[in-house]
Structure 1
Amino acid sequence: MMEQWIAQWQAQSLWEWTAVLLSVGYIVLAAQANRWCWVCAFLSTAIFSVLFFDVNLLQESALNIYYLIMAIYGWWHWQGSSEQQQLPIIRWPVKNHVIGAAIFGSIALISGFVSDVYFKADFPYLNGFTVWFAVYTTFLVARKVFENWLFWLVINPLSAYMFWHKELYVTCGLMAVYFIMSLYGVRTWYIKWRQQDESLSTCSAY
């Protein structure tokens, strides 16, 4: 069993490894609130969109096309007014997240049904959940909303389970790294948020 696992691990494509390394660069820089994270995000998601399509995770592939767009938006939005005055980290009220979860949870159920019945995709409902909540959470990252890290703490383990069963072991390992870095992101962003000027920490979420 161990020899088979090692052989499968070594057989992962160079492209997957490249995408994973770029994704690690993204999460490390994002946890530090560094704008250059979006460059790594753009390159890694371009590769992943093709890889996921090849293994019939159709919703995951579509998600990465969305990530490409959000990488461009995030790069633009995080620039702030100057190098010295970066975009501040903000927090949204619980009500906003409850509404967001209700909307994207409903979309995930519909998406899962369509993927299951019409496209015969693998893990249709689980993939629908991870995809649509990742859509919501990535938007939170692009807006520099602190609570994005709390959502990733749920999404990443579920994604890891799915990738393991699809034998995307390198990508599965990436989800483990993402989970650890999300814990780091919670701590780092909270400290940065507390250090901001009082007027910035209470600014509008929109």
Structure 2
Amino acid sequence: MNPWLQQLVEQILATSWLEWTAVVLAIGYLVLAAHQSLWCWLAAGISCVIYTQLMFGAKLYMEAGLQVIYVLLAGYGWWQWRYGKAQIDAQQVSALSWRFHVLWCVVLAVLAAALAWTLQTFTDADAVWLDSYTTVYSLFATWLLTRKQFANWWYWLVIDAIYVYLYSSKGFVITGGLYGVYLGLVVYAMWQWRVGAHGASAQEQQCSSSG
């Protein structure tokens, strides 16, 4: 057997049941989110509790902290989709301007750089730059999802591609593979939300014609 393939098989076999559980729930979260199901936030919350433990053990402290905040965001997202403005369909939510995204991308880049420098200087954290940038932008993308902003999926395309490398390099092969699957699921979610938007638009036109 090819040495690389053999190592991959060994790492997969060594994957803990906790990581497998988190992976399954994380996939469920994204599939449910693609269909704008409220239950996506429950799957996300449980998955993130598990990943908090795994990331802390791997000394990815920013990722561990990110998972804790994800749990809180899962609660916030559930409330928003159930009772807040985001309880309506995504196609009915007003899109944010490009100026909003440019401003926040700059602010988040500065914040991530400051976090990376702090971790590199005062802790034994590993992969601090990738860890910090993916953490900061993941929080922003998740917040956009809680508001049912379509732009969240564009951010996730970039973030998930980076996560494939980050997790795989730290030995979390299954989780790295999860983010590879995520890339496909993000494309699916984008298509699903667009289909919903076109369907709603066609229905509105039909109602207008009938009227």
The normalised TM-score by structure 1 is 0.90
Task: Say whether 1:116 aligns with 2:117.
Answer: no
Q: Is the 8 A contact 1:32 1:188 kept in 2?
A: yes
Match of 1:31 in 2: 34
Following the alignment from structure 1 to structure 2, what is the Cα–Cα distance between the partners of residues 115 and 160? Answer: 22
1:4 deviates by 2.3
Select 2:60's aligned residue among 57, 65, 71: 57
Instruction: State how 1:83-122 maps to structure 2 within 5 Å.
Output: 86-89=87-90, 90=93, 91-122=95-126
What is the DSSP-based 3-state SS (H/G/I as helix, E as strand, rest coil) of the residue aligned with 2:96?
A: coil
What is the DSSP-based 3-state SS (H/G/I as helix, E as strand, rest coil) of the residue aligned with 2:36?
A: coil
1:28 deviates by 0.4
Task: Say whether 1:132 aligns with 2:136.
Answer: yes
Select 2:69's aligned residue among 66, 70, 74: 66
Runs of 4+ in 1 over 6 A off after TM superposition: none
Change (3 A) 1:122 1:186: same
Q: Counterpart amino acid of 2:193?
A: W
Task: Say whether 1:21 aligns with 2:27.
Answer: no
What is the DSSP-based 3-state SS (H/G/I as helix, E as strand, rest coil) of the residue aligned with 2:178?
A: helix
* Higher alpha-carbon deviation: 71-80 or 45-54: 71-80
Deviation sequence 1:39-83 (CA, Å, 0-9, x none)? 0000000000110000011000000001000000111110158xx
Q: Counterpart amino acid of 1:172?
A: G
Deviation sequence 1:79-123 (CA, Å, 0-9, x none)? 158xxx942313211111111111111111001111111112111
Select 1:188's aligned residue among 192, 200, 204: 192
Q: Is the 8 A contact 1:80 1:87 kept in 2?
A: no
Q: Counterpart amino acid of 1:73?
A: Y
Following the alignment from structure 2 to structure 1, what is the Cα–Cα distance between the partners of residues 101 and 114? Answer: 20
Task: Say whether 1:174 aligns with 2:178.
Answer: yes
The normalised TM-score by structure 2 is 0.88
Select 2:167's aligned residue among 142, 145, 163: 163
Q: Is the 8 A contact 2:41 2:77 kept in 1?
A: yes
Following the alignment from structure 1 to structure 2, what is the Cα–Cα distance between the partners of residues 196 and 180? Answer: 24
From the two aligned structures, give the one with the greater helix fraction: 2
Equivalent pairs, count: 196
Q: Is the 8 A contact 1:156 1:175 kept in 2?
A: yes
Structure 1 spans left out of the alignment, 5+ residues: 199-206
What is the DSSP-based 3-state SS (H/G/I as helix, E as strand, rest coil) of the residue aligned with 2:82?
A: coil
